[in-house]
A and B are shown apart, each in its own frame.
Chain A
Amino acid sequence: MNGGLTKHLNIIDYTLSSLWRRRARNASVLIVFAGVIFLVASFQFVTEALTETALDSLRTAPEITIQRLSAGRQTEVPLDYGEQVASIHGVREVVPRIWGYYFDEVTGANLTVIGVDLERMPLGEKLNLTLAEGEVPEPGASGWVLVGRSIKRIVESKGTAYLSLFRPDLSQASYAITGVFDAVTDVLTNDLIVMDIGDARDLFHISPAAATDLCVYVANLEEVPNIARKIAAALPDARVLTRSQISQTYQVVFGWRSGFASVCLLTALAAFVIFAWDKASGLSPEERREITILKILGWETSDILAVRFWEGALVAGGAFIAGCTGAYIHVAYFDASLFRSVMVGWSVIHPSLRLVPSLQVSTLLLIFCFTVLPYMAATVIPAWRSAIVPTDSALSGM
């Protein structure tokens, strides 16, 4: 057999037996390291899966949304604005929408209520696709609601099929639940109630001549920025939001949340790197002696580094595989239950969304660079520093 290859196999043999000799120490490093990689990887997987989900749901949103500002705060939009906008060339449809927040005192949840005009909303049928059960009622019907899954659960726990909400004057309004949103959209719909625009007006006591915002549907998507500019010019007190702006907002929100958690994780990572450095760089006198003896017995510097390299590679590689696999299982099968509270929850009710981590090579590579590489460096460099010392001066210590 090839001498170089056999030599390398011998070195791996030696590495394995020396790993085994220090099995307690190596196992503890491996477990801590796998834990850190597990956290970092879970986190990365969750962020990516969430961003995907949110952006996915945005696809059905209107191209342009018009709000009105008064004293810098959002107020009701008069419906006449809609007529003005509809006359702009390229606008297909302008649909008023009502939405607001409803604080549920029993659960402490802040629910989002959206009133839509099914007769005029071009995406009426598309809404059906987002439902897991039931369907969107015929245009013109009233007294119905489509709800997110957690709201459905709350209603069911009260033992009725009707959702009861209070108007500002504390009179009660009841709605039949005709549909429940699919779990896939939970990140956005979990605490969402969709109802007829007339019912929403009634619930929030909003005048028939106004709406919360206007959804503008455009014939040619390329025209969106242009039309948005024209609307802004025509309506000085309006805020004009395009879908891409909204999606950017989502990304910023997720970015902020993940940024916050990243800081926590980086701290854990830094702690680990210091720990690893300490373990690996503080070559004990024993290890230093071992290196010197091996050199005198005819081991080259590269042979000694190969031993350290394989030691580091096996520990770090094992931890990397264990950590990433664990993270994938954590995210895909346990819905990242450890991160729930930081990552999702647009309201107090925590969505139980199905997360499907998309395994991207770039993500794995990123995690690899931040975990395995520092550890390898921390194992190999000190040994290298100790091994390049000529035997001459190394021997004087014996």
Chain B
Amino acid sequence: MLIELEGVTKIYNQGQINEVVALRDIDLRIKEHTLNCLRGASGCGKSTLLSIIGCVIQPTSGRTAIAGLQPARMPDRFLTVHRRRCIGFIFQNYNILPALTVRENITLPLVPLGLSRRAMAERVERLLQQFSIGHRGNFPAGRISGGELQRVAIARALVNDPPPSSWQTNPRPISTAV
């Protein structure tokens, strides 16, 4: 099982006047190599659930196992390392840095991985071609169209995909749309 959630509850601002129960007692199982879609009314907690799966926030209670790791027991530092190895993010508002070029934006998740410059460039180039944005590579991300921006966000979410040779040992990255 790639993702397992058991009795996950998330309460924002617990104990305060503005307390929000965003998730209550969620069970969820997702297998490797599947494509899943989460639907629901606005404000029902989709983003919250994906943030928990993406190890960005911790559930208030319940048990989670994400790609073999149990985030509840992990310090923030480990989650960061886990995130950059196994998880790709596409945000609702993309969260692309407008001052950086398209190429630099896609490279960002690779910087702390310690890959060589060549290896980074190869991966980024492959994705630029795959998403037909090669001709925008050196444009500042703030100056491309909305559709292109979306493709940049997807490319960035996939860039930390481990190379085919190590697929057997590494779990395939999870891409979440938050």
Contacts and interface: CB of A to CB of B under 8 A. Distances in A.
Given A4-B114, A390-B76, A298 B160 contact: yes
Contacts, number: 83
A255 B54 CA distance: 64
Contact of A398 (B91, B114, B156): B91
B51 A395 contact: yes
Contacts of B104: 17
Contact of A298 (B58, B76, B112, B116): B112
A119 interface: no
B97 A290 contact: yes
Interface of B: 12, 51, 54, 56-58, 76-77, 80-81, 83-85, 89, 91, 93, 95, 97, 99-100, 104, 108-117, 120, 156, 160
Contacts of A7: 111-114
A295 interface: yes
B77 A294 contact: no
B56 A298 contact: no
A395 B109 contact: no
A3 B114 contact: yes
B101 to A, nearest CB: 9
Given A7-B114, A298-B83, A391-B56, A398 B109 contact: no
Interface of A: 1, 3-7, 9-11, 13-14, 17, 21, 286, 289-290, 293-301, 303, 390-392, 395-396, 398
A392 B114 contact: no
Majority DSSP secondary structure for residues of A touching B = helix
A10 B120 contact: yes
Given A293-B95, A300-B77, 20 more contacts: A6-B116, A289-B95, A290-B97, A296-B56, A297-B89, A297-B108, A298-B84, A298-B85, A298-B113, A299-B84, A299-B111, A299-B112, A300-B80, A303-B112, A390-B76, A392-B58, A396-B12, A398-B91, A398-B93, A398-B95
A293 B104 CA distance: 14
Most A C-beta atoms less than 10 A away, residue of B80, B84, B85 = B80
A391 B80 CA distance: 10
A349 to B, nearest CB: 58
A298 B109 contact: yes
Nearest to A298: B84
Given A10-B120, A293-B95, A398-B93, A300 B56 contact: no
B81 A300 contact: yes
